[in-house]
Structures are given as C-alpha cells and as structure tokens.
C-alpha cells in the first residue's frame, strides 16, 4: 500500500512539477531502462548515475522503473529471443568477440541473451516512449492538470514528508 501511495505521489509530483515535459519524459525513459533490463548490471549503474546527475525528472525515473519492471518480466521471452538472435548471428560474431575482449565491456553482461535483448529493446523503445510521454504530459497539463492541482487529495499527497525528499531531486 505504501509503495502504491509513493508511486502515486511520484506520478502526481512529476506531472505537476515545474519540470518541462521533456525532462519528465527523459526521466521516464531512463527509468524504463532500469525496469526493462535485469537490474544488477553495469549499464544500469550508468543509467542510475545519469538519472541522478542529469537534470531530468527523478520522479519520472522512479515512475518509469516501477511501470516497466512488470513489462520486463512479461517480455523476457522476447528479450531472450532477440538476444539469442543477435549474439549468435554469424555476421555479428566479430563485433561481439571484439567487445568481449574489450576491458570493462564484459562487466555489462552484454553476452547474456536477456540482458542484450532487453537493452536493445529499451534503446529502440526509448525514442517512441520519449515523444509519446512528452506529448501526454503536455496534453495533461493543458487539460485536467490545473483541476487536479486544486483538488484536496493532491494537496494531501503533496503535504507528506516523502515529498520533501522528492523535492531534492526534482528538476
């Protein structure tokens, strides 16, 4: 329940932050990488650092992460198939061999079918997700955003202490 409330808080907070729609969309895209790909991998450390250091919506990142974790689980068979096809494609063998013999790169576990498949999928999915989210935020703010801001439950959510922590990372 607490997780759900925090998720709602993140969503509402992100939608009504002063951040631009592009910042929120970028945060969600970075979060989708965390959710779609297996978490404990080096590239996700880079994604997380980018989420923290870049001036994108951190709440959007958390939201993207939370939303895309179940999607990742559901699409694992697809990721496995994509990764398998890519890693065992004869035409790409030279590339993978070079990468696997390059320092640091093997730590990303790119040679795992699910990791590579999900990463490729997340990268391909990133641009459509970015533009769709940005458009959605713009439309939301232009239509029902102000009415939601004036509602009682919005004020209740924003008054909680957790919101203060969130404000540290807001764009």
Partner 1 sequence: MSPPVKIFRWRAVGPLLVLFVIVCGLWWLFADRIARRESQNVGTQLLGAKVEIQSMHLDLAHGDVTIRGLTVASPHEAFKNLFQADELGKIGIDSLDPRRLSTIPAADALGARADSSRHAWQTAVDTLHLGPTLDSASATLERLRHARATDLGTINAGRQAVDRLKRARDRVTSLERNVTQGTANLKSGLAGLDSARRRDYAFARSLLKLPSLDAPAIGAAVFGPGAIKPFEQVLYYAQLARRYMPPGLLPRATTGPSRVRRAGEDVRFPKERTLPGFLLRSAELSFLLQPATAQPQRYAGRLTGLTSDPALYGRPTALVASGPQLAAGAMLNHVRDIPVDTAGATVGGIRLTPFAVTGVPLRLDPGAATTQLGFNLNGDTIHARFAIRSSNVRWTRDSGFANSPIGDLIWRAVSGIANLDVEARLSGALQHPDLAVRSNLDDAIASRLRAVLGDQVAAAEKQMRDRVDALVDATVGPVRARVNEVQTQARAQVVQQRARIDELQKNLEQRLRQLLGGVRLP
Measured in degrees and rounded to the nearest 5, phi and psi for residue 76 equal -55, -45
Do 165 and 58 meet the contact criterion of CB atoms below 8 Å apart? no
Residue number with CB closer to partner 1 (8 or 107)? 107
Do 95 and 130 meet the contact criterion of CB atoms below 8 Å apart? no
Residue number with CB closer to partner 1 (92 or 144)? 92
Q: Which residues bind partner 1 (CB under 8 A)?
A: 20, 23, 38, 40, 49, 52-55, 72-73, 76-77, 79-80, 83-84, 87-88, 93, 96-98, 100-101, 109, 111-115, 117, 168-169, 171
Work out how close the CB of 96 gets to partner 1 at its nearest, in angstroms, rounded to a whole number. Answer: 5
Residue number with CB closer to partner 1 (120 or 148)? 120
Measure the CA dihedral 122/31/108/114, to 10°: -50
Residue number with CB closer to partner 1 (4 or 168)? 168
Work out how close the CB of 136 gets to partner 1 at its nearest, in angstroms, rounded to a whole number. Answer: 20
From 75, 65, 3, 73, select the one nearest 34 (Cα to Cα): 65
Residue number with CB closer to partner 1 (86 or 148)? 86
Work out how close the CB of 152 gets to partner 1 at its nearest, in angstroms, rounded to a whole number. Answer: 31
**Cα gap 40→167, rounded to integer Å:** 27
Signed CA dihedral, 141, 144, 146, 150: sign only: negative
């Amino acid at each position: 329940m607490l997780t759900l409330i925090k998720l709602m808080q993140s969503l509402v907070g992100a939608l009504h932050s002063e951040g631009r729609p592009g910042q929120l969309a970028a945060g969600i895209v970075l979060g989708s990488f965390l959710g779609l790909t297996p978490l404990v991998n080096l590239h996700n450390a880079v994604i997380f650092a980018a989420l923290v250091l870049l001036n994108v919506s951190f709440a959007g990142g958390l939201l993207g992460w939370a939303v895309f974790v179940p999607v990742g689980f559901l699409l694992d068979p697809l990721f496995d198939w994509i990764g398998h096809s890519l890693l065992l494609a004869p035409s790409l063998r030279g590339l993978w061999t070079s990468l696997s013999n390059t320092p640091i790169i093997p730590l990303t576990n790119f040679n795992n079918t699910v990791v590579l498949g999900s990463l490729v999928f997340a990268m391909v999915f990133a641009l459509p997700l970015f533009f769709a989210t940005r458009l959605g935020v713009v439309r939301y703010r232009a239509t029902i955003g102000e009415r939601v801001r004036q509602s009682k439950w919005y004020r209740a959510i924003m008054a909680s202490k957790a919101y203060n922590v969130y404000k540290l990372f807001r764009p």
